[in-house]
Structure 1
Amino acid sequence: MAISPTADGEDGARGVTVPEGPPAHDSWPTVPEGAPPAWAEAVLATIGESVALVRWSPHERSPMEVLWVNDAAEGLTGYTRAELLTGGAAPLAGVIADDDVPMELRVQLREGNPGGTVVRLYRADGEGYWANVALTPYPTASDEVPWWVLVTRDVSGEVASAAEDRLRFEADERARLGLSVVLRVSGLLSELDGARVLGAITDLLTRRVVAWCGFFARGRGLYELDAITTRTEQAPRRLEDLPSCAISELFAGSSMRTVTLDPAVTYSPGSLSAELLDLVRPQLELHPDSPQQFTVLPVLGRRGALAVLVALARPARQHRPEPAGGAGILPSRPQPVVRGMAEQDVGTVLELVARRVGMAMENAQLYAREHSLAETLQLAMLPEQDDVGRLDVWSYYAPTSEHAQVGGDWYDVVNLSESTVAVVVGDVVGHDVEAAAAMGQLRSVVRAYAAEFIDPGTVLERVDRLVSSMRVPRSASLVYATLTPRDDGSWDVAYHRAGHLPALLVRDGQVTSLSDAGGTLIGFSSRPRQTGFVRVDPGDVLIFYTDGLVERRDRPMREGVTALEEVCSHIHAPDAAGVGEEILQLADAPEDDIALVVVRVPGQRPGTSPPGSSPRQRRWQLPPDPATIGRARRAVARACEAWGIAEAPAAELVTSELTANAVMHGWGRVGLQLQDTGDGLRIEVEDANPAPPVPREHMAGRVGGFGIHIVDRLADWGWRPTPSGKVVWARLRRGAGTEIGSRPAPGRPSA
């Protein structure tokens, strides 16, 4: 029941005694029925906020009854005092007046504690505003229905400011999210190799930006890219041969723009749009809540589009609707910010990602083309060794440059005829690209004259004349020798050294320096060059080398040559590869290119017996041609004979199969390494193809592909990646090969 106070502040009907001044809080008069005293009303009238005295029980679903209001309530709501006293508390408290109280606030009020919330209210003219409603218990003598002081304050400005702050925060959050995605993409492009980076980028975009995305390029047909350096073996179709469509225009253009690929549209058969839609259509079934259309952007290089980025957007964000009428409660707790990006932000991020991937893709493919070109040129200039059946020849080459496979040093072992073998070891000053170019020129000249003339002195005279006219930018030294067999098993050696370190002849522990027939550097001789001669017998060893083997900054060249002679005087290895392994102990930290050729005449001198104390490991560098398979077999057979290994036939067979795989399916030079581990023979074959070996299933009519199955029956095997390709290894079992074909194939172990 609403009651208005009398003018003098007394309520005679109820007998309320009004004190002259405001008493202490604990001595306030209890008001069983009625309004505040006159002095309290006078104080409340001066307050600029709406204040009302209401009766309402939070324990029951009862309406809120207004007992008294101040003047500010009329100004806030637009209702008169009489309308507020008779119409209820809806204009002052909103849904609280209808007993629709949030649970947390209801619990607080039931315990008799002050509480409040922010609600949506409407003035008498229908204008809405946000109000802060606060309820404070008012002491009364009766506990039947509690009385409350209701304070209502207009906070529309604060709510609007908070909403603007939230929008700005969300915009900043979206901008930070987009920037973090772009920065992370840039990091992935610099951190990961080309084979993994696109998968990492699509995973990142799918987690943070879109529902799905992928990169597609053109070959004979569109295909999904899995690496930025992917090379297709199929020639791309010309765009003029394709039906005109939006996707073909993206590939033909050189500017960034966005195309929509809509499954509801019928594209021309055979067009890139139709082909691309067929590839990505399954994603629509996997993401039914997403917009049923794709966004396509070009992945641009410097000269045009290299690929396209296709993305499927996430479902649209659901915004909380604002109350359209009546009252609505603004949650007292801050709402979590939705972590997502607006449509325009998504488009910007995708465009930036496409641009960065395009530049990285073009750089990677340009590097791959340049690397392939450099590799082809370097392979053409790498030292070569012909298969010399009547001599045991071992060669080794190692450039000091980390970025090139070839420097200024080189060797050649060439069959000049059926009976004559030529050996050339040379050194161009420097070990850079210019030195390699000069080496290639000089090597070609020497090979040309060696095919025409046999005598080493005559060959180098012709080389002098031509090189002086060619103006080769680097000076060079070399030693050139020819070996011709005699009927008694020995060989005649003719040689000349042009400013080069002398070759060494090792015989029965005695080292002889072949220092006769010496001359100036190539291109600087004005006198006829002489030819020196020496005879080598079975068991003798010739060693040709460059200064990288013996030269060090901390010792003179003469001391290095003396150290080499000392090592050679204690060599008794029965094969050229064993001799080379012992010599290479001097080259533990080379400071220059190394070229080394060891020639051993098969057999041994009467009365000598090799003690077999050479290192139990061998290595060979072999060219990628079919003749390498036979050379590898013979090399392994000689090593097994030197070590007394009974499983030589099985070792030859395993080596043959691994080397054949490297020659047929690998890239670049073939590295062969053999090691006696004490419990078995370990064979390693290295090539530049990183793809692992894959055993084929036994199928009738299939040719080839069974080499790994043969290896599997004779050895434990596996493979491991290397920075330049892979190594396939096999560990031959003791007794392997004695029961080939009768023992079941064991399981292949992991590498």
Structure 2
Amino acid sequence: MDVTGTGTGDSPVSGPQAWSRALLGATLEGVRTAVVVVDDDGLIVSANDAAQEVLGRSLGELVGQDSHDLLHRDSHGHAPPRTRCRLRDALLAGRTGHGDSEWFARGDGTLVRLSWLVAPCSSGSGEQGALVLLYGSERDVSDEGADEVPAPLAELDRLALLAETTTQLTSTLDVDEALRRLAALTVPRLADWAVIDLLTERDEVRRALVTEHKDGILVEREDLQGPMPPVPGESPMPLSRALRGAASSLADPATYQGSPDSGIAVEQGRLFAETGMHSAVIAPIRGLRDVLGALTLGRSKRPGAFTTADLPLLEEITRRAGLALDNARLYQRQRKVAETMQRHLLPQLPTVPGVEMTARYVPAPHASYVGGDWYDVFALTDSSHALAVGDVVGHDLDAAAGMAQVRNMLRAFAWSRPQATPSAVVTQLDDAVKHIAEVPMATMILATLALGDDGLWRLCWTNAGHPPPLLVGHDGRARYLTDAHGILLGTGLLRPRPDTVTVLPPRATVLLYTDGLVESPHHSIDHGLDRLRRHAAALAHRPLESFCDLLLEQVRPGDNDDDVAMLALRTPPHA
């Protein structure tokens, strides 16, 4: 696009600057009304001095920017949806348009309320665009009177917020994450502050989250969080009433300026003083059966106080939040029960004179939190012990219950036949699993550990479809014990099960583990086994407790949702 006759010398001035000069000219530059020039794509090509002053932006900060994204805002500081922006529609349609008292963003982040007029125009060469005149109040939002009430959310925005609340809060079963999402949904859209108080199972109050909108991000104020005084039974104060399940209500600093009637009122007064909130709305968070807590939204920077017109929306938000928190709490309670049950099912390790021994159980990080992985060590005779590690198929309470059945039957069979080989005991267990236990399939290693006449410890074992044991010498040489491998339990097939005996050298480490330590959805099992062998060899000189902890830290795949059981033993230094 070339516009000639507006430059200096013999060289014509071309491009947006030439066009904007042709459109504005000396006359428009002298107009006190703010004028912004945009092209047919809505991009700013120029602005006069009055526009730069009103918008608090230099010409360089304006030119080339999308006028809608850069300038136009709703009453909460968000860019309105493009599909519902009348100013943008008028620009792109090339028609005259007008809007009264809408919000525009200044360069310093504040808002200014202006009316606008779009006037389509074209350059001498036929390029299309428009002049946008901005006029009216030029007061910053921070200068607005406290009595001015921000426009309530439009019905479509209100429904969108509620739908987003449901989606965000029901897509997590972590209580803390749900609280953070609730705060992010309401701040800064509705308020400058979000405060969430929760009632514990013992009816104690905990200020779980205090969040403010600061410098464009949400900042958690840990100094305002923590335990709270108990809820008084008869207090008429808004938070106390909300925590007892009463209807939502409004509050301001004057609410807590008198003599406090309780400790919780003292804390609320401190909250208003610390945050500078001039207006707040407080609503109970109700679950299906009980009151779970309360949500306080406060305004400190934005103008206008909350009104009773804001209460229905807040109550609808807290109703949905209550159902989501109820589900999250129930899930965490069930998970805790399941994990505690499984940990109690796992045994305390006996003392084997001369041999170090330790075990680890780590629940799945994301999906199941409880499963069928287990370990066991128990005495067979005065001179021998049985060691076992196994994995019942599944990742739920059924798997954990099946694990307990298999472990108890294994103990009974091994104890009743202390001289039997591990393969004979596992064969008997496999037959019992098919007829007694409610276990689809399982893998395991059963071994006996005994001290030989030469002073060296011997490990005799059989493997029922399980990852092989790892033997690590003190010199750093590591190898898998791949002999004695048979089919897993529960197949219904009758196959002979072999036994193998390995003499353990002094200061050797034997590691039994479940597949959660080495399996990953993104790598082969061989990759995981090689990784475990290399890390175990490098840690051979570490104390046994440190050896296991570091293996879990360095080897366990971060993308695996399986639980892990580990059993490690180390022989004494000298035979």
TM-score for the superposition, normalised by structure 2: 0.47
* Structure with max Cα Rg: 1
TM-score for the superposition, normalised by structure 1: 0.38
Give the number of the structure with larger relative contact order, counting CA–CA contacts within 8 Å between residues 6 or more apart: 2
